[in-house]
Amino acid sequence: MELKEIDNLLTKLEKVGIARCESCNEETKFFEITVFNGSYLCPGCLRKAAWKTEGVLELPS
């Protein structure tokens, strides 16, 4: 996908307000989705992924 296509999709998602987590496929509010290692993750999956990484990761509050 080109950057412009991705930007258009993100704009549409912001308007709808709901996005899907790429890990658990749960619908989540768009503003709660976080990009982690190139994947869009909900807060629960982000915590799980952070624990699996080596090193320190600061999670959003």
User: Own/partner pairs for 19-27, CB < 8 Å, 24+ apart?
Assistant: 21/45, 23/48, 23/49
How do residues 3-54 score in pLDDT, each as one tens digit? 888 888 777 766 677 888 999 999 888 788 888 888 889 999 988 887 776 5
Fold of 3-45: Wheat Germ Agglutinin (Isolectin 2); domain 1 (3.30.60)
What pTM did the predictor assign?
0.56
DSSP 24: T
